[in-house]
Amino acid sequence: MNVPRAALVIIGQELLSGKVKDENVGYLTEQLWALGVEVKRVLFVPDDSQDIVEALRWVVDRHDYVFTTGGMGPTHDDVTVAAVSEALGRPMVHSPSLESLLERLYGVPAGPERTRLCHIPEGAELVYPEDARFPQLIVGNVFLFPGVPSIVRKKFSAIAERFRAEPIYSERLDLDRSEMEIVMPLNAVVESFADVRFGSYPQYSEGKETVYLTLDGTQQERVQDALKLLKKLLGLA
């Protein structure tokens, strides 16, 4: 399928240690798919600047959009913004509007800490969604989100329409059979429809195997034709 490609860089040692369960990957992948964008990579990295830089340099040029979550706060392990700056080769610059916000809303006094917090990568875009206390930071094709799931949902929904592409059409076929029973007809249809993506997912319950198949594509007619042929070869039509 020829659709926009996205990558997620999920930042936080607490996720890699199992202390916190990630909730953002499922949400973002589902939302992006519904908008016609396919997530091709998900990378989990610790709160380490060089690890984040390495991950970003690998995905930025290979994907249309990159989304980061985590590392956006005021503490010592919040290094995402500086890492994005280094990865994209953009110097950190002072943002007067961000400094004003830090002083007005959060009461952060003048000093080294406020200076650090109001520096962003050169050329970054600050988007202020309705009712948001803190702006959305966008640097090139990198969209920076905090790690808190409720904030990720709110911020993403505010800018979601900018990612909308051509729809991805999907079909699902549930079968009371095992994968071994359906592999030959499935492979025949896969070979005939190179522009449709097929998925086969076995399920096991009470010692019995069943399987469901998914068909995805950007041309609804092709997806329907593939489904029709698949049903025919499986003896369902």
Identify the domain containing residue 53 by its residue range.
Answer: 5-163
Do residue 147 and residue 49 come from a single domain?
yes
- 3-state secondary structure at position 195: coil
CATH code, domain carrying 59: 3.40.980.10
Please list, in sequence order, all residues whose beta carbon lies within 8 angstroms of the beta carbon of residue 235, skipping any fewer than 6 positions away.
none
Do residue 148 and residue 181 come from a single domain?
no
pLDDT band at 155 (very low <50, low <70, confident <90, very high): very high
Do residue 210 and residue 107 come from a single domain?
no
Q: Which of 128, 163, 198 is the last residue of a domain?
A: 163
CB atoms within 10 A of CB 152: 20
Total domains present in the chain: 2
pLDDT in tens, 220-229: 999 999 999 9
Do residue 58 and residue 174 come from a single domain?
no
pLDDT in tens, 45-57: 999 999 999 999 9
CATH code, domain carrying 186: 3.30.70.600
Do residue 65 and residue 150 come from a single domain?
yes
pLDDT in tens, 60-103: 999 999 999 998 877 767 899 999 999 999 999 998 888 887 77
Burial letters 45-73, b for 16+ CB under 10 A, else e: bbbebebbbebbeebbeebebbbbbbbbe
Do 145 and 72 contact (CB within 8 A), yes or no?
yes
Radius of gyration of the chain (CA): 22
Q: Which of 111, 135, 163 is the last residue of a domain?
A: 163
Do residue 131 and residue 176 come from a single domain?
no
Do residue 78 and residue 135 come from a single domain?
yes
Do residue 26 and residue 74 come from a single domain?
yes
Q: What pLDDT score was predicted for residue 92?
A: 93
Nearest to 142 by CA among 209, 82, 64, 52: 64
Do 122 and 90 contact (CB within 8 A), yes or no?
yes
The answer to whether residue 162 scores a pLDDT higher than 70 is yes
- pLDDT above 70 covers what percent of the chain? 96
Do residue 67 and residue 156 come from a single domain?
yes
Please list, in sequence order, all residues whose beta carbon lies within 8 angstroms of the beta carbon of residue 210, skipping any fewer than 6 positions away.
174, 175, 176, 177, 178, 202, 203
Q: Which of 110, 132, 163 is the last residue of a domain?
A: 163
Mean pLDDT value of segment 191-204? 96
pLDDT band at 3 (very low <50, low <70, confident <90, very high): very high
Do residue 21 and residue 86 come from a single domain?
yes
The answer to whether residue 132 scores a pLDDT higher than 70 is no
Do residue 27 and residue 136 come from a single domain?
yes
220 membership: H or E segment, kind and range:
helix 220-233
Do residue 118 and residue 177 come from a single domain?
no
The answer to whether residue 111 scores a pLDDT higher than 90 is no
